[in-house]
Amino acid sequence: MSRRLAWCFLWWSCALLLALPQSLPAQTPAVAAAQIKGESQPAHPYIPKLVDITASTGIHFVHNSSPDARYIVESMSGGVALIDYDRDGYPDIYFTNAPTVAQYLQGVPAYSALYHNNGNGTFTDVTKQSGLGNPCWAMGAAVGDYNNDGWPDLLVTCFGGVELFRNNGNGTFTNVTKQAGLASDHGWATGAAFGDYNNDGWDDLFVPHYVDLDLHDLPTLGSRPTCMYQGIAVQCGPRGLPGSPDNLYRNNGNGTFTDVSKEAGVSDPNDYFGLTGVWEDFYGDGKLDLIVANDGEPNYLYQNDGHGHFKEIGYASGLALNGDGYEQANMGIALGDYLHTGRLSVAITHFSGEYTTLFRNDGNFNFTDVSAQAGLVQATAPDVGWGDAFVDANNNGWPDLFLVNGHVYPQVDSKAVGTHYKESKLLFLNEGNGKFFNASKLVGPAIQIPQVSRGLAVGDLFHDGHQELVIENLVGGPMILRIDPNPKNHWISLQLAGSPAQGNLLALNARVQVIAGDLSQVQEVRSGGSYLSQNDLRLYFGLGRHTRADKIVITWSDGEKETITGLAADHYYSILQGVGIVPAARITPRAPAKF
């Protein structure tokens, strides 16, 4: 089937989807509880609450935006990173920012912001002293430890390359992009991620790239067939614009990186529109594989052969296209063991008229689109989805799915086309049987406020057993949502640190299995993901009614396994590779590396 014919079929499919109801009608908690007896209701009847706490945090950041977003580069920024940069145990927040085209051409910067977590529910703006205020035309951010000193470093992706900031361990960062060998990257960098693909103990770096765009030669609103949406003149792209190749940078272990994209087989010779890269050992053989979400193009899945090379198996695995065989506008990536199989499945957000795709991990590099069976198609089709995360909103041990939305075209509000520029967020509760219940109308009014959202990061900001959802909006200020789960359920949180002798001190891609009674869950420490964003590196597990974790099995990034038993619930624990449970101070680095 030709691509043009495929898109015709997709257009008609989208039209039918848009005609469906966009969400469940509003219900009272009593009605919701009564309906839980039905087959499509959640297995756990308590409905959590999502409470907007933004005002009380003292955060006053506002993302720069164009009122009419005439160019695609003005619609794609807005990543957020949780980074405990001072290693005090409380995640701090970094918001990226970007100028409009007019501002950029006039030399007017847009300032990103770093907020220090005070540990009492509030934050302090420390941007000026940090050195992170004006990195570039900033898209997103990812956390790694490129020099293996235990201090989390920050990579900012830009329209125009990447900027690597070394954490100096004193509240400041130094731009080391040039000396690290990354200054040659001039592409439109998007959702990057650190990961040790060659198992040498040093964090390597993958950087996907989006569109090859010249700000001095921009296509104008509605000037081409690909610049029209539902009969409305809109910004051009990515369709009709040239794509850009991706890059893999191998960490040399001396503060520098080497571009090995082509020899490793991940250079993207098709020049697809790359938006998000995520490292994950899908086969369980100790070798990190790589998934890349491409906007409007097939996704890549690169299988690691363990010898510095990758084989692209997207089509064979089932991850390249949706279940109907169509390319989708792939945006953000979330990984989660929502079925308790020990395998991480993949959720990918998409454009309006499509739907958030849930690829069930069937093992051995086989994935199945189960979006319809899971109950995600109808509710997600009208919106443009971006940041996403599997998060246990009820602490019941079953990861739920949270999505943030917002269109790219402000002009859609000028005509009744079944979608809007500002869109609400969505929470799907895991029923424990492969299905999700759309609880978006039941968890409080905050997520129903329409916004133009982009990035999403998750973490327990205040050490109280309540996770927070940190959302960066393209238009206006961020939203921070506190999750109030079932108070009868318990939880446990783990911060891992790799052995200094082995490297990878942040324990990226270490896998943890937590067993509590009949619950068995798997998570990984991960760099990047969602959309242009970074979750807290600590792992958080709901335990339901269980008051302890009977057994915790850690598979460290070097393949070493470690088992810890009998940990009491409702506590944070620090775990040092080869040692076990240690005081938090034991995994706090003393001095930063010299490079």
53-89 tens-digit pLDDT: 999 999 999 999 999 999 999 999 999 999 999 999 9
Note whether residue 41 is domain-resident. no
Note whether residue 17 is domain-resident. no
C-alpha 443/C-alpha 445 separation (Å) is: 7
Q: Are residues 391 and 531 in the same domain?
A: no
Region 483-487 average pLDDT = 97
Residue 460 φ then ψ, to 5°: -85, 100
CATH code of residue 543: 2.60.40
CATH code of residue 61: 2.130.10.10
The Cα angle at residue 439 between residues 438 and 443, in degrees rounded to 5: 160
Q: Residue 24 pLDDT > 60, yes or no?
A: no
What letter would DSSP give residue 29?
A: H
Note whether residue 5 is domain-resident. no
Q: Residue 328 pLDDT > 50, yes or no?
A: yes
pLDDT band at residue 34 using 50, 70 and 90 as cut-offs: very low
Q: Residue 17 pLDDT > 50, yes or no?
A: no
Q: Are residues 289 and 348 in the same domain?
A: yes
Q: Residue 8 pLDDT > 80, yes or no?
A: no
Residue 1 has a pLDDT of 37
Q: Residue 406 pLDDT > 80, yes or no?
A: yes
pLDDT band at residue 28 using 50, 70 and 90 as cut-offs: very low
Residue 33 has a pLDDT of 35
Q: Residue 301 pLDDT > 90, yes or no?
A: yes
Instruction: Determine if residue 393 is left, alpha or beta; phi over 0 gives left, psi from -120 to 50 gives alpha, anything else beta.
Output: alpha
Q: Are residues 220 and 273 in the same domain?
A: yes
Note whether residue 290 is domain-resident. yes
Q: Residue 30 pLDDT > 70, yes or no?
A: no
Q: Residue 29 pLDDT > 70, yes or no?
A: no
Residue 44 has a pLDDT of 53
Region 4-27 average pLDDT = 36
Residue 36 has a pLDDT of 32
Give pLDDT tens digits for 537-565. Answer: 999 999 999 999 999 999 999 999 999 99
Q: Are residues 508 and 462 in the same domain?
A: no
CB 491 within 8 A of CB 297: no
Nearest C-alpha neighbor of 440 from the set 31, 89, 50, 36:
50
pLDDT band at residue 496 using 50, 70 and 90 as cut-offs: very high
CB 480 within 8 A of CB 54: yes
Residue 43 has a pLDDT of 54
Out of 437, 461, 484, a domain closes at: 484
Note whether residue 447 is domain-resident. yes
Structure tokens at 447: 């997520």
C-alpha 388/C-alpha 395 separation (Å) is: 18
Region 444-453 average pLDDT = 98
Q: Are residues 287 and 436 in the same domain?
A: yes
Note whether residue 9 is domain-resident. no
Q: Are residues 256 and 287 in the same domain?
A: yes
Average pLDDT of the chain to the nearest whole number: 92
| Total domains in the fold of the chain | 2
Structure tokens at 6: 């495929």
Note whether residue 20 is domain-resident. no
Q: Are residues 480 and 494 in the same domain?
A: no
Residue 594 has a pLDDT of 77
Out of 462, 484, 506, a domain closes at: 484
Q: Are residues 376 and 494 in the same domain?
A: no
Catalogue the E-assigned strands of 373-518. Answer: 385-391, 400-405, 426-430, 436-438, 453-459, 468-473, 479-484, 490-497, 511-516
Q: Residue 407 pLDDT > 60, yes or no?
A: yes
Region 186-213 average pLDDT = 98
Region 205-223 average pLDDT = 96
Give pLDDT tens digits for 329-345. Answer: 999 999 999 999 999 99
**Percent of the chain clearing pLDDT 70 (strictly above):** 93
Region 85-111 average pLDDT = 96
Instruction: Determine if residue 19 is left, alpha or beta; phi over 0 gives left, psi from -120 to 50 gives alpha, anything else beta.
Output: alpha
Q: Are residues 432 and 509 in the same domain?
A: no
Q: Are residues 475 and 494 in the same domain?
A: no
Residue 591 has a pLDDT of 85
Nearest C-alpha neighbor of 548 from the set 526, 570, 563:
570
Region 235-260 average pLDDT = 97
Q: Are residues 535 and 426 in the same domain?
A: no
Note whether residue 15 is domain-resident. no
Higher pLDDT, 102 or 10: 102
Q: Are residues 441 and 495 in the same domain?
A: no
Out of 427, 461, 484, a domain closes at: 484
For residues 377-408, one letter each, b for 16 or more C-beta atoms within 10 angstroms of the residue's C-beta and e for the rest, the string is bbbbbbbbbbbbbbbbbbbbbbbbbbbbbbbb
Q: Residue 172 pLDDT > 90, yes or no?
A: yes
Residue 498, domain extent:
490-586
Residue 590 has a pLDDT of 82
Q: How many helices (H) and strands (E) does the chain have?
A: 9, 39
Instruction: Determine if residue 339 is left, alpha or beta; phi over 0 gives left, psi from -120 to 50 gives alpha, anything else beta.
Output: alpha
Q: Residue 3 pLDDT > 80, yes or no?
A: no
C-alpha 210/C-alpha 236 separation (Å) is: 14
